[in-house]
């Protein structure tokens, strides 16, 4: 398939702009890209001068879960705080109870609705974490649902095991026992079922300590799985430094990351994933250290963190806007954060830019310039979508 009359933003390095560009797709991959005048001959799809970017990548979501936490949203606005709700048995544990009780069929149905909302904005790759099961069977159930979601849509889904999301009520007083279950049972059996692409943990006062997180990372490394970490979201425990030591793909949240932490992830080539949705919903005051990340040239990605508690955000475009307004990212950094750098955060070398050899995952937009994508809130300028070389949404 040859596409002509494109306003290209390849996202190679920076926007990588080219007017009157053409793209040749073969076997789901980009075979050729360049000025239209140099394009191979043959019948072509006229793209009417629309802007084309790589398909967007949401590299951090928890979109498979049961129940909802609208009540906690209301409680917080009546003065309760996120950590206090969690300590009282709500928070993550509340979603754990609902997810354990939900059938696979219901999780699939509600997950599909959320996934489709993301995909409608030109998202073509989504990461989904477990972590609302916290027992062997339910962790596997969540990841199985994520694999089924991938079968039902042309999008790529990457599964992340998050058995170390928090200590379930039944092991609150016996961390060691739960760690044994995570490392030697849950992770192992989900891995053997082919359900795990990476391993994550929540390193925080209300969840796993640095030492406990390290035990999970060791178990991941034994299985040759890449790691990532929810780090320094509510406080600075030094989780990012540990993640860097284990060559983590990404450290996520990082509002409380200090300069030592920035330097550690710079050395390890770990991506800094910013989650402005959680910052916004929790009405957090401390913003992540964007200036330090920038000056050290750490790759910055952004993601929805779609989850029922701290970030019921179902829009990656809105997340780009929030990263700009709340964290001061430039629109260009925001777009790199959902393309090239988000691919890196998932360890995917075959997407995130429009270049030869990459997957033909493309989003077409009714906007003049790529910077316009981060500008509105609640408006979706998508025009067409190509997923793995095929139109999943055609030009109107
Ligand atoms: N941080 C988050 O933002 C999610 N998990 C985590 O460790 C959401 C957790 C939740 O409140 O359900
Ligand atoms: Fe998260």
User: What are the pLDDT digits (tens) for 187-235?
Assistant: 999 999 999 999 999 999 999 999 999 999 999 999 999 999 999 999 9
Q: How many angstroms does the Cα of residue 13 sit away from the middle of ligand 2?
A: 27
CA distances from 119 to 96, 198, 311 (A): 26, 22, 18
pLDDT category at 40 given cuts 50, 70, 90 is very high
- Asked if 296 and 263 touch (Cβ cutoff 8 Å), the reply is yes
Average pLDDT across the chain, whole number = 97
Segment 326-353 mean pLDDT: 98
d(CA 323, CA 330): 8
The pLDDT, as a whole number, for residue 149 is: 98
Regarding predicted confidence, which is higher, 375 or 83?
375
Segment 317-326 mean pLDDT: 98
Q: Which of 207, 252, 310 to mutate to test the pocket of ligand 1 (most atoms within 8 A of CB)?
A: 310
CB neighbours of residue 267 within 10 Å: 12
Q: Which two tokens stand for residue 309?
A: 């508690």
Share of the chain above pLDDT 70, in %: 100
DSSP one-letter string for 2-41: EEEEEEEE--SSS--EEEEEEEEEETTEEEEEEEGGGSPP
Segment 291-320 mean pLDDT: 98
- Asked if 184 and 131 touch (Cβ cutoff 8 Å), the reply is no
d(CA 5, CA 21): 6
Beta bridge partners of 384: 364
Q: Which long-range contacts (CB under 8 A, 24 or more apart) does 108-111 make?
A: 108/145, 108/148, 108/149, 110/65, 110/66, 111/63, 111/64, 111/145, 111/146, 111/149
Q: Which two tokens stand for residue 36?
A: 């239209």
Q: How many angstroms does the Cα of residue 312 sit away from the middle of ligand 1?
A: 10
The number of C-alpha atoms within 13 Å of 208 and in the hemisphere containing its C-beta is 27
Residue nearest to atom 3 of ligand 1 (CA): 310
Q: How many angstroms does the Cα of residue 59 sit away from the middle of ligand 1?
A: 15
What is the dihedral sign for C-alpha 342, 281, 211, 146?
negative
Residue nearest to atom 7 of ligand 1 (CA): 202
Q: Say which ligand is closest to the CA of 308.
A: 1
Q: Which of 304, 294, 246 is nearest to 272 (CA)?
A: 294
Q: Which protein residues are within 6 Å of ligand 1, measured from CB?
A: 62, 91-92, 95, 165, 202, 230, 233, 278, 305, 307-311
d(CA 393, CA 396): 9
**CB-count burial class (<10 Å; 0-12, 13-18, 19+) for 14:** middle
Q: How many angstroms does the Cα of residue 306 sit away from the middle of ligand 2?
A: 7
Q: How many angstroms does the Cα of residue 174 sit away from the middle of ligand 2?
A: 24
**CB-count burial class (<10 Å; 0-12, 13-18, 19+) for 396:** exposed
Q: Which of 230, 255, 276, 304 to mutate to test the pocket of ligand 1 (most atoms within 8 A of CB)?
A: 230
CA distances from 44 to 21, 25, 27, 39 (A): 12, 11, 16, 10
Q: Which atom of ligand 1 is nearest to the CA of 305?
A: 3
User: What are the pLDDT digits (tens) for 345-394?
Assistant: 999 999 999 999 999 999 999 999 999 999 999 999 999 999 999 999 99
Residue nearest to atom 2 of ligand 1 (CA): 310
Q: Say which ligand is closest to the CA of 68.
A: 1
Place of tokens 């053409």: 22
pLDDT category at 340 given cuts 50, 70, 90 is very high
The pLDDT, as a whole number, for residue 108 is: 98
Segment 61-71 mean pLDDT: 97
Q: Say which ligand is closest to the CA of 231.
A: 1
Q: How many angstroms does the Cα of residue 305 sit away from the middle of ligand 1?
A: 8
The pLDDT, as a whole number, for residue 257 is: 98
CA distances from 126 to 116, 123, 247, 335 (A): 11, 7, 22, 16
pLDDT category at 13 given cuts 50, 70, 90 is confident
What is the dihedral sign for C-alpha 377, 326, 368, 350?
negative
Beta strands in 17-104 (DSSP E): 17-26, 29-35, 45-46, 51-54, 56-58
- Tell me the domains of the chain and their CATH numbers: 2-54+354-393 (2.30.40.10), 56-345 (3.20.20.140)
């Amino acid at each position: 398939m040859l596409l002509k009359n494109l306003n290209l933003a390849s996202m190679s390095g920076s926007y990588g702009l080219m007017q009157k560009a053409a793209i040749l797709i073969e076997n789901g991959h980009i075979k050729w890209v360049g000025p239209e005048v140099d394009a191979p001959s043959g019948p072509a799809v006229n793209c009417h001068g629309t802007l084309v970017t790589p398909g967007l990548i949401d590299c951090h979501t928890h979109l498979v879960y049961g129940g909802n936490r609208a009540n906690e949203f209301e409680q917080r606005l009546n003065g309760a705080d996120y950590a206090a709700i969690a300590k009282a048995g709500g928070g993550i544990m509340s979603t754990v109870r609902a997810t354990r009780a939900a059938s696979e069929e219901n999780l699939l149905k509600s997950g599909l609705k959320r996934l489709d909302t993301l995909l409608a904005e030109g998202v073509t790759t989504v990461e989904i974490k477990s972590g609302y099961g916290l027992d062997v069977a339910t962790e596997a159930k969540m990841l199985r649902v994520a694999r089924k979601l991938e079968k039902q849509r042309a999008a790529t889904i990457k599964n992340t095991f998050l058995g170390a999301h928090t200590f379930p009520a039944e092991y609150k007083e016996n961390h060691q026992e739960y760690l044994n279950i995570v490392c030697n049972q849950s992770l192992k059996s989900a891995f053997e079922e082919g359900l795990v692409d990476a391993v994550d943990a929540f390193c925080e006062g209300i969840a796993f300590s640095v030492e406990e997180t390290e035990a999970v990372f060791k178990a991941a490394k034994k299985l040759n799985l890449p790691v990532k970490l929810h780090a320094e979201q509510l406080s600075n425990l030094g989780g990012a430094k540990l993640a860097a030591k284990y060559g983590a793909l990404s450290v996520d949240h990082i509002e409380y990351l200090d300069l030592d932490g920035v330097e550690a992830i710079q050395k390890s080539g770990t991506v800094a994933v910013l989650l402005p949705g959680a910052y916004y919903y929790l009405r957090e005051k401390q913003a992540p250290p964007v200036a330090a990340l920038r000056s050290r040239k750490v790759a910055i990605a952004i993601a929805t963190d779609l989850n029922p508690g701290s970030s019921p955000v179902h829009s990656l475009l809105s997340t780009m806007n929030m990263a700009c307004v709340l964290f001061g990212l430039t629109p260009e950094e925001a777009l790199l954060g959902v393309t090239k750098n988000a691919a890196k955060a998932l360890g995917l070398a075959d997407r995130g830019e429009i270049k030869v050899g990459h997957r033909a995952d493309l989003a077409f937009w009714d906007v003049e310039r790529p910077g316009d994508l981060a500008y509105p809130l609640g408006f979706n300028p998508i025009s067409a979508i190509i997923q793995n070389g095929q139109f999943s949404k055609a030009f109107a």
